[in-house]
Copies of this chain bind each other. A is one copy, B any other.
């Protein structure tokens, strides 16, 4: 592993049964066993190293048993590279209808059909084993911001007890189970949660409960806080973060892995992330713009189509608009992390970071 001498940036390798992942890495999200608007072949073409899929969604539809029957998620969706699954912890709180937290688990109502379910650490772990992901997550309790110190403290304690139950029932040796650090914006709770999880010796650590409404200064403070606490030799995954500025700043604070629906969701809305900042393709200033989406990008959308054409597609509600914009946004984030890694290896990460900010600008939706 290479480290930046001036920041916390690291360039490492993560070995999985489906391949070695070079970090830092951005993981595209395939919620329902497909990255929206993309095909697996295209995901490989843009050099996706690892995909994320959602246990909550797959548990509800089509069901983990069907995925298991297919031979696991890799075969079901025809993706032969590494896959990470979340635990469903975030979704049972954010997406499900009514939910009720008990010590044993969470009662929730499906957002799809109103059916009632009870998710426990054991069920979340076993569901991920059926899915057969390379990296699984412990079932955690997420809290909404703002939250009181007492609420945050309780959620940390429960997350730790649940992590122990997940670890205890987890069987698959071809699947790594990561612990998740919670603690909202309370520094001492974050450090306590991290230290307890480290004592339990997980093969990797996730940072959850960020990018949920806090300022980016608050996010960066938590990352700065955890950076020296986390063990050097294990991967660190900042969950649900995908804005380019946050990725680069996360890398500077020792984060190795990121995921977010942002590039595909933005892509469907016509919002493009480029080396020169973000913009929406529907704007009339692109009517006669025959240049590429991003002159610095090597993706299919940028190589073969003009902004004027993509704008026409977007205004016409054509699927190819969502495809090309998602394609570019994903490639942009994957390429961004690839270039960050190279700059770390070359010992020039601070210059890379400064140049990125200069070109991309400081616009930040958080």
Contacts and interface: CB of A to CB of B under 8 A. Distances in A.
Interface of A: 32-34, 36-41, 61-62, 66, 69-70, 76-78, 287-288, 290, 300, 304-306, 308-309, 312-313, 315-316, 318-320, 322-323
B78 A316 contact: no
Contact of A305 (B78, B287, B313): B78
8 contacts: A32-B312, A33-B309, A34-B320, A38-B320, A62-B315, A66-B287, A66-B288, A78-B309
A264 to B, nearest CB: 10
Contacts of A315: 61-62
A132 B141 CA distance: 60
Contact of A36 (B78, B290, B319): B319
A327 to B, nearest CB: 9
Name the residue among A39, A61, A315, A322 with the largest chain B CB count within 10 angstroms.
Answer: A39
Contact of A34 (B37, B77, B308, B318): B318
A80 to B, nearest CB: 11
Given A34-B320, A318-B32, A312 B62 contact: yes
Contacts of A316: 32, 34, 61
Contact of A41 (B61, B78, B290, B300): B300
B34 A70 contact: no
Contact of A319 (B37, B70, B308): B37
B306 A70 contact: yes
B319 A61 contact: no
A78 B304 contact: yes
Nearest to A36: B319
A125 to B, nearest CB: 23
Given A32-B318, A66-B287, A69-B288, 12 more contacts: A34-B313, A36-B318, A37-B320, A39-B300, A39-B320, A40-B304, A41-B300, A61-B316, A62-B287, A62-B308, A76-B309, A78-B304
Contacts of A323: 39, 319
A110 to B, nearest CB: 13
A323 B323 CA distance: 10
Contacts of A69: 288
B39 A70 contact: no
A77 B319 contact: no
Given A61-B316, A316-B61, A318-B34, A66 B308 contact: yes
Contacts of A77: 309
A77 B33 CA distance: 30
A62 to B, nearest CB: 5
Nearest to A288: B69
Name the residue among A33, A37, A309, A313 with the largest chain B CB count within 10 angstroms.
Answer: A309
Given A70-B290, A288-B66, A61 B312 contact: yes
A315 B57 CA distance: 13
Contacts of A33: 309, 312-313
Contacts of A287: 62, 66
B70 A308 contact: yes
A361 B318 CA distance: 33
Nearest to A317: B32
A191 to B, nearest CB: 40
